[in-house]
Amino acid sequence: MILLENLTKILGGKAILNGLDLQIATGETLVLLGRSGTGKSVTLRHIVGLMTPDSGRVEVLGKEISGHSEEELKFVRSKVGYLFQDGALLNWLTVEENVALPLKEFGKTPTSEINDRVQEVLKEVELDFHGDKFPSEISGGMRKRAGLARALISRPEIVLHDEPTSGLDPISSSIINGLVNRLKSSGITQVLVTHDMHSAFEVADRIALLHEGKIRSLGNVEEIRNSADEAVQQFLDGKIKGPLTQGAIDGVCDSEENGNEAT
């Protein structure tokens, strides 16, 4: 279970998170939507202990981590796998070496065990024949899957995905969605940030819309699809005009409605 309580974070003089409340149940896959720059990645960074809240609480698996003590961070890093927005693979290491990194950093696992575990997670993400390649030698979808393998190597109970399908073709996206659903079946708790509504509807137990530092709307797939909240409908339809863009867009005229700017 992940608990974010009255979370506030000021960055660049602006309250990016402003009293955000969100609870994610064990085994749940929650999709977090929101316009670019609304603080989705910042929210994920709080859950994995990469950012400290200015006020409010972060609890992960029953343990408060808002204090950022060494012991709290060690706990959270061992339980939470984090898939960075850009994949963040090191170009000078092979896929296998990238995937092995988190276990090597902890320094306690014997090499033979690391190698076995690397092959196991590469198989899980269907990259078992590509471990010896460098990131530049594989496709964007494969790089995302390599990032996922690295997030899974420490057998986390929670996996955070930051835009796992962005920039991918529909088929590569479907492969990622399938992997997310497979993790869901194995009981892993997931938070997934995306702009890809097809992916959101395919994997989500619940969907949350982040706006102005708070969760503006929250519901299961059906509730979100049929939401009476104009902001939700604006996001789903990619309409330029609406609550999400109030006062934020200059020079937009009516004929430009239904563009994709809001994603």
**Other C-beta atoms within 10 Å of 102: how many?**
20
DSSP H helix total and E strand total for the chain: 9, 10
**Rounded CA separation 178/125 (Å):** 10
Q: Give me the 80-109 binding string for Mg ion, x by CB under 5 A, dash otherwise.
A: ------------------------------
* Residue 38 vs 234, nearer CB to ligand ADP: 38
* Residue 14 vs 155, nearer CB to ligand ADP: 14
Chain Cα centroid distance, residue 171: 20
Residue 41 interacting with Mg ion (CB under 5 A): yes
144 binds, among Mg ion, ligand ADP, none (CB under 5 to 8 A by kind): none
Residue 194 interacting with Mg ion (CB under 5 A): no
**Rounded CA separation 26/3 (Å):** 11
Exposure on the CB side of residue 71, measured as CA atoms within 13 A: 2
Which span (2-10, 40-48, 75-83, 146-154) binds Mg ion, by CB under 5 A?
A: 40-48
* Residue 38 vs 66, nearer CB to ligand ADP: 38
Handedness of CA 201, 204, 205, 209 (dihedral sign): negative
* Nearest distance from C-beta of residue 262 to ligand ADP, angstroms: 13
11 binds, among ligand ADP, Mg ion, none (CB under 5 to 8 A by kind): ligand ADP
Residue ranges in 29-48 that form contacts with ligand ADP under rule CB under 6 A: 34, 36-42
Amino acid at residue number 172? S
Which span (10-18, 56-64, 148-156, 240-248) binds ligand ADP, by CB under 6 A?
A: 10-18
**Rounded CA separation 247/222 (Å):** 30
* Nearest distance from C-beta of residue 41 to ligand ADP, angstroms: 3
Q: Are 169 and 144 in contact, with CB atoms under 8 Å apart?
A: no
Size of the site for ligand ADP (CB under 6 A): 11
3-state helix, strand, coil in the chain (%, to 5): 40, 25, 40
Residue 53 interacting with ligand ADP (CB under 6 A): no
Which residues contribute to the site for Mg ion (CB under 5 A)? 41
Which residues contribute to the site for ligand ADP (CB under 6 A)? 11-12, 16, 34, 36-42
